[in-house]
Amino acid sequence: MFNSLTSLFKQLVEGSDLGKTPTASPNLAIASLLCEVAGADHEINESEQEAKLNLLQRLLGITEEESKTLLQQAEPQVEQSVSLYDFTSQLRELSQPVRIDLIKAMWEVAHADGEIDPLEDSVIRKTAELLYVDHKDFIKSKLDVLGED
């Protein structure tokens, strides 16, 4: 506790930007968001694990092994994170279609177990807001995943 206060004080004195998060790759941020939504309901089942793995391969064009490695790196990031902003701040430069694809992928992870928990919905909603995804695109992505378009 004392060390963290000392560190905070040093940052204030030195004029460091406290809002900056450690530099990480956008791929890691995407993997972290998928992990965040999967764990939102405090139950991560095999279908959600498989969905995260497959979606990372599809979204990022990487191999299964690379996806597994990325997920292993993302899980501790999610546990240490204090907000979704830690991840979304790194992804705002992505094009609007890519951000919409990410939101749709999050819906796919949430629905992988056959239902969307309100906590999962909340994580996706907040992520969409932080990434400046229009509400209509947020809803369309959800409906596409649910097959209700």
Please say if the pLDDT value at position 9 is more than 90: no
For 83-101, give one letter per residue: b (16+ CB within 10 A) or e. ebebbbbbbeebeeeebbb
Q: Which domains does the chain carry?
A: 25-146 (1.10.3680.10)
Chain-wide mean pLDDT for the chain? 84
Q: pLDDT band for 82, please (50, 70, 90 cuts).
A: confident
Please say if the pLDDT value at position 62 is more than 60: yes
The whole model's pTM is what? 0.80
Please say if the pLDDT value at position 26 is more than 70: yes
